[in-house]
Amino acid sequence: MGIRLNWTSRAQVLALLILLTGATMFAASSIYDFVLPSIDGKPLPLSGFKGKVILIVNVASRCGYTPQYSALESIYEKYKDQGFVILGFPANNFGGQEPGTNAEIKTFCSTKYNVTFPIYSKVSVKGDDQTPLYGYLTAQANPSFAGDIKWNFTKFLVDRRGKVVERFEPATTPDSPEVIAAIEKYLKQ
């Protein structure tokens, strides 16, 4: 015994299938398509940073690169009035170097390094539980900069239109000549 659908029911089923298929095939066109929770748990859409040059960094509190927080804060202070922002994404993917809660991470950042740039809630930057933003950054955003995150403090530079234009590996410090030159280049555009 089969189920008979009238025209209205068929149209509703078809509309639902189209909606579900479209949702699963969503492809971001820029970083502005993502909304993640801030370190305080409130939604913080990346679209709120439209028109700014953005440095996206996966951070950790117990890493050999953790002192880069000082340089990050310094360049943020230097360029923020010119339309520059840094977005920190704590991640515990490498050696358990970010084990704390969001509250602990926030306290660490503000008391140890006086961080004032936006920090998001802890995410995963690789693996089966990789946050969609990092899936986008490492696979879709720009083929020139594709590839897994290798360690904490990998940096992606995004231009004012939301396009990933540079990638810097962890050993490249935020205040290195190549990072500063790239930031200044895209601030002028």
Is residue 109 annotated as part of the catalytic site, yes or no?
no
Strands 53-59 and 84-90, bridge-based pairing: parallel
The β-bridge partners of 188 are: none
Q: If DSSP codes are grouped into helix, strand and coil, which group holds residue 133?
A: helix
Cα 145 to Cα 156: distance, rounded to the nearest angstrom: 9
Backbone angles phi, psi at 49, to 5 degrees: -110, 15
> Of the listed 28, 63, 71, 85, which one is catalytic?
63
DSSP code of residue 82: G
Catalytic residues: 63
